[in-house]
Chains A and B, each alone.
Chain A
Amino acid sequence: MRNPFIRNRTEEFGLDVWSSYVIPLYFSQLGLNEARKSCVLEGGRGCGKTALLRYLSFQSQFSPDRVEIPPEALCTLGLYLKADTQYFSGFIGNGLNERRWQDIFEHALCLALSEQLVDSILTLNCNSSRLKNYGQIEKLNFTDAVQGFTRTPIPADIEAFDKWIRHQRQELSRWFKNYDFDQPPTLLPLREFLEALIEEVRTKLNYMSNTVFAVYIDEYENLLDYQQKFLNTLIKSGEPPLIFHVAMKPNGMRTRSTIGTESIQETADYRLLNLDDLLQPTFHLFAAELFFFRLIGETEIHESQTPISLEQLRSPQYLSIRASDDLYQQRVLDEIGRILPGLRNREIAQIILKENTPLLRRWQKIIEEGIKFQNSRLTAQDFLDRNYPEASIVCAALLHQRSKTASDILIEFDKLRNNLTSNFTKGEWIHHLLVGTILLIYLPLRQRPCPIYSGFNAFTKLAGTNVRYFLELCHLSIGSILPQNSLQEFSVPIDTQAAAAFRASRKFREEVASCGNQGSRLLALVNLLGKLFRLSQGRYSQSECERTHFSILDEEISTQAREVLREAIKWSVLFETSETKVKANRYESSEYILNPIYAPFFGLSYNKGRKFELQSGEAEAMLTGRVDEFTQLLRQYEKSWSVDIADQMSLGLEM
C-alpha cells in the first residue's frame, strides 16, 4: 500500500497524467486549447506548471486510459518538451561560436519535437479500435514531406521515419563524443522541417486536417540566453498550425530579444498567464479535492465515502459545478476540516492557560515582567480569567507597551468582563495581538508543537499555492496512521499536524540550499530573515506583531543584491508584491514576503503582519554580505529591541 501523498512531484507520475490529474478550477480561464498566439505560463515552484503542460500534451490527451477522445481533443495537439538542463547548458564554447551553437540547439530541438509529433500520431492510433476510428497512417509519406532537407535517405512510412529520427539523435550524440568535432551532421531548420511534417499530416490524415500543433517548452528559465532568444523568435513568429508556448518560474525570461533585431512584447506577441495568481483564489477547494482524489487513488477507500467524484475532478465539463455549487464546496471543505481539524485561537488560548503547564508558566513570566516594567502592584492573577482566555493572553503583550498602564489594562479587562464596550474588542486588542502573543508564548518551547500551524486552513496558508508543500504537509501528518478502508471517525490529532508542519518547514528550508546556483546564499537569506523576524516576534510588547515581510528603503541596492532578490523570487523563497501603506513622500516600491512554509520552523506567523523596513545598507548586507555582517545585523536589532536574555537563548535554532 502506498502512502497517497508521498508522490508530490509531477515528474513521479510520468508523461501520461490522464488518470492522475485534477483539473484546476482556473482551467477554463487559460484558453490554451483555443490559443492561436503564444502564451507564457509563469508560476512558482509546485504550482502545477509541469502537470498542466503534461495534461495538455498528447501523451495524456491521447492516453490509452482515455476511453473516448472527443473531436475537440484533435483541435489542438500538444507537444511537450522539458529540456535537460545539464545537456543544453553545455552547448557553448568548445571552439564553436554562438551562432553555430544556436544551429546545433535548433537541430536538437527539431529532432526532439519531430519525434514527439510522430509519437503523437502513433499514440492516437495505439489500439485496434483507435486505428478503426482514425488510422490511415499508411497514407503518410515522409520521404515526400522532408527529403529536401537532407541528403541521407528519409524513409516513407511512419515507423521507419520514427527510427530515422532516433538515428539522427544518435548521430548528434556520436558527434558530441568526438571532442574535436570533425564531421558535423546535417543540421535541420526547426520551423521549416516541422511545418513540412505538419503539412503532410494535415493533408493525409483527414481527422487532423485542422489540427493546430502547440509546443509546450517547460523550464524555459534554465535555457542559456541565446537559447531563450531562439525560442523568443519562435514565439514571435508563431501562428497556426504551429504555436510555441513556454512555462517558467517567476523572473525566468532573462531576455526579450529575438535572434533578429526585434524583441517580443507582452500582449502583442504573447499572453502572460500567471498560474499562482490564477490558482490562489480557489487553492483551498483545489487542495481539498486533491486530498480526497489521492486517497481514493491509492488506498481502498471508495469515492462514495468521500465528498468528491473522480470523474468530476478529471473532466473540464464539470468545472462550473465545482466552481459554483456552494453545497458541494461546503461538503468538501467540511469533510477535510473534520479530517484535518484546527483550533480556533480562543481554544489555543485556553490550552495555554491550563493549570501547571510550561505554557502557563511562560505566560505568567511575561505578565510578571510586564507588571515589573510598569512598576505596578498588581499580580499575574489579576490578569488571569479562564472565562476570557483571549483577553488574558493579550494582556501579556499589553503590559509591555509603553503607551498603556497596568491599571488601565485591568480597567478595560473589567469592562470586558462586565459586558461593556472595551478596548479588547472596540480597540481590537485581541484582533491585533492574539496570534502574535500566542506565538510569543510558544517561541522558546520548540519541543511543543504549536497548534496555530494545525488544521486544513493553516496548511493551505503555509502552502501558499504550492501543491507540493500541501501534499507534504498531508504526508507527514497522516503518514502511517491512515486508515486504509474507511474515513469514518478518522481525524488527525492537532499535535500530530503541528509537529508535521514543523518537520515539513524544516525540510523545505533545508532544500533551499539546492535552489539553483545561488542556493547556499538563498538559504542564508532565509535563515537570516527567519532569525530577524523571530527576534521581532520575541518582543514582549508585540508592537510590531506578526512580521513576515520587508521592504527596502529607497531600494538603493547593488546589481549583485538585486540579482539575489531575483533568484529568491524565482525560487519562491520570497514573494514580491507592490508596497502597501507607503509612508511620507516615498516612491512606491516592492515588498518581499518570506514564504510562509518557513514559518513553523522559525516560530513565525503565516499571516502578512507588520512590515519590516530595512535600510538599503542593511538590505545590501543581508543579500550580499558575509557571515560576520549577518551576525552584526542580528545583534544590532537584538540590542535595539532589547529582547530579554532568556529569549535570546532560543535563537540558535540548532536542531
Chain B
Amino acid sequence: MHKRFNISTSTHDSSEPPSASTKFKWDVAVVAEKSDLDDRSIAARNYATVNSVRTITVKFDLSANETLIDGKVSTFGGLRAQFFRQKCVLIEATTLSVIEILYVVAAAVKENVTQLRLVYVEPLDYRRRIEGRLCEHRDFDLSVNSLYRSIPMFRTDLNETTPGRAVFFLGYEGSRLGQALEQEEILQHWKKHMILGVPAFEPGWEIDSIANNIQYFREQDTVQFAAASSVTGAYSLLCELREQEKESKPILVAPIGTKPHAIGAILFLIEFDAMEQAVLLYDHPYRSQGRTDKIRRWHFYDVADNNTHAS
C-alpha cells in the first residue's frame, strides 16, 4: 500500500529528556502559547527551545477562528512563511492542541520541510486518576463539554456529503463520542469505526476508555485497536480504510482520543483532504491547568513526506 508519510518512532523511558546534541539544532521549533500547564508541558517546551535555533508560538483562537503566531493574528500563509526554506522543524505536540498541530504540520508539509519531528511527553499519571474519580462512577464530573465545530480549511457540510466511514479515535471521556452522535445525527448513516488505544499507555487504562464509550457502540459498528502511543498505528489504520473504501466515499476522522492517534489522523487528513476524501470532525475541548503529574516517557515521531521531492 502506498503511503505518503513515513513515520519513525523512538521512545525515551525517562523523566529527563535525551541530552541535547551539541552539533545539531532544529531550524525552528513550534510550541504552544500557554505551555506551562504541567510538568510535562514545561519540560517539553524547554526541550524544544534548547534544541532549536529559533522558537515560535502558535495558538488557534477558537472564538475568532484565527491563528496567532507569537501572539499576533496571522494567516495560513503567514504560518507557511515561518517554514519557508527551513529544513528541520520540531513540533512540541504535548501542549499544542490538535488543531494547532494540524495547521503547523500542514504548513510545514506545504513548504517541503524535509525533517519534521513531533515530540510528545507522556505523563506519569493523570491527576483525575489520582483523585480516584475516573474509575468510579462519573456522577459529578464537571468537565466542560465543547461543541463540534468546523475550522478554516476543514469545513465540510455533512448534509451534502455522501455517507462513508466515520472513524472515532477514543479516549476516556465517553461524553465526547456521545456528543458527536447527538449533535451530528446525520452520522447515523455512516459506517462507524471505534478505535481504542490498546495497548494503553499503561496496562489497565484501556478499561476506562472501553467502559466510558461502550454505551454508544452499536452492533454494526466496527471496534478496532491501535496502540495508544502509536502514530503509525493510527495513520496506517486510516490509510487501510481509505484503500478498502472502493467507492471513494469520504472517511470522516474524529481524533478525540490520544495525542499520538490525533497526529496519525492529522497526517491522514493532510494527505487526503485535497481530494475531499477525508473529513475532520472535532470538538475543541478546553484543557485545564495541572491535568497531569510528572513525566513517564518521551516519544519522538519523525515524519518524512514521500511527496516532498516530487513537488
Binding site for B on A (CB under 8 A): 9, 11-12, 14, 82-87, 89-90, 92-95, 108, 112, 169, 173, 176-180, 222, 507, 510-511, 513-521, 523-524, 527-528, 626-627, 630, 652-655
Contact = CB atoms under 8 A, between A and B. Distances in A.
B140 interface: yes
B157 A87 contact: yes
B175 interface: yes
Interface string B49-71: 00000000000010111100000
A94 to B, nearest CB: 4
16 contacts: A11-B189, A85-B183, A93-B65, A112-B160, A173-B276, A179-B75, A179-B152, A511-B178, A514-B178, A516-B147, A520-B142, A520-B144, A524-B140, A524-B141, A627-B140, A655-B137
B138 A85 contact: no
Q: Which 8 A-B pairs have the closest CB atoms?
A: A514-B178, A90-B150, A93-B65, A179-B76, A93-B64, A513-B175, A176-B155, A86-B148
A653 B137 contact: yes
B142 A524 contact: yes
A527 B140 CA distance: 7
Interface of B: 61, 63-66, 73, 75-77, 136-153, 155-160, 174-175, 177-179, 181-186, 188-189, 215, 273-274, 276, 281
Nearest to B181: A514
Contact of B158 (A86, A108, A528, A653): A86
Contacts of B139: 523-524, 527, 653
B188 A11 contact: yes
B81 to A, nearest CB: 12
Majority secondary structure, A binding face: helix
Nearest to A14: B189
Contacts of A515: 182
B133 to A, nearest CB: 9
A513 B150 CA distance: 21
B184 A85 contact: yes
B148 to A, nearest CB: 4
B155 A173 contact: yes
A12 to B, nearest CB: 5
A268 B128 CA distance: 53
B158 A94 contact: no
Contacts of A510: 215
Contacts of B141: 513, 520, 523-524
Nearest to A176: B155
A87 B158 contact: yes
Contacts of B182: 511, 514-515
A11 B137 CA distance: 31
Contact of A87 (B136, B156, B181, B215): B156
A598 B147 CA distance: 25
Contacts of A511: 178, 182, 215
A82 B188 CA distance: 14
Contact of B174 (A14, A513, A517): A513
A521 B215 contact: no
A176 B149 contact: no
B183 A169 contact: no
B127 to A, nearest CB: 14
Interface centre among A93, A173, A652, by most chain B C-beta atoms within 10 angstroms, is A93
B152 A627 contact: no
A654 B211 CA distance: 14
A630 B140 contact: yes
A524 B150 CA distance: 28
B255 to A, nearest CB: 14
B291 to A, nearest CB: 16
A180 B76 contact: yes
Nearest to A510: B215
Nearest to A81: B159
B155 A87 contact: yes
Among B73, B144, B153, B155, residue most surrounded by chain A Cβ atoms (within 10 Å): B155
